[in-house]
Homo-oligomer: A and B are copies of this chain.
């Protein structure tokens, strides 16, 4: 059964791979599961057909036979549970890898997304410059703790897992800010993940959509 995911028909970040379909593409590539993509526009993702699959009108959906899922964390976990390669076999190690998925999504990513909100939704406000500094402090608090925990390990807990996949994708959004460079082991962690063949295939696949929409 070939799953179908959704992705933007025209990349909002000009092919940088920051949209959440990248997480699902990467997970599917890691486990060797082929997939199909339904392209969606900013308009059509607000329409009933898409909202039936994603009640919040966000970009990401996943269909596999009768199953319809939304939320990048839930989709990546579903893939990781049904295929080898993204979660350890040991039960405790598996729970810990899943804890890193939640940490990526709930503890590390929120201040990083706040930075995007402050720039893109409130960029014209008089408070933006001062607030950006506050948000950067909150981000650095998380990065510091993450950097200490990672130490000189390759991955967060043993072998590469779905937890690393989610964490790396959350951190990638920081590249333009320069904040990642203040934590050399985190910058290296992200670079190391980007060398994975599955990441490269997923990145190329999302970039191809952008290139096609540009040339069309």
Contact = CB atoms under 8 A, between A and B. Distances in A.
Interface of A: 51, 55-58, 66-75, 77-78, 92, 95-96, 98-99, 101-103, 105-107, 109-110, 113-114, 121-122, 125-127, 130-131, 134, 142, 145-146, 148-149
A129 to B, nearest CB: 11
A74 B102 contact: yes
Nearest to A64: B92
Oligomeric state, in number of copies? Answer: 2
Contacts of A74: 95, 98-99, 101-103
A146 B56 CA distance: 7
Nearest to A145: B56
Contacts of A67: 92, 95-96
A122 B101 contact: no
A102 B127 contact: no
A134 B107 contact: no
Residue of A67, A71, A75, A102 ringed by the most chain B CB atoms within 10 A: A102
A116 B181 CA distance: 30
Contacts of A101: 74
Given A57-B145, A105-B105, A92 B66 contact: yes
Contacts of A122: 131, 134
Contacts of A107: 56, 58, 71
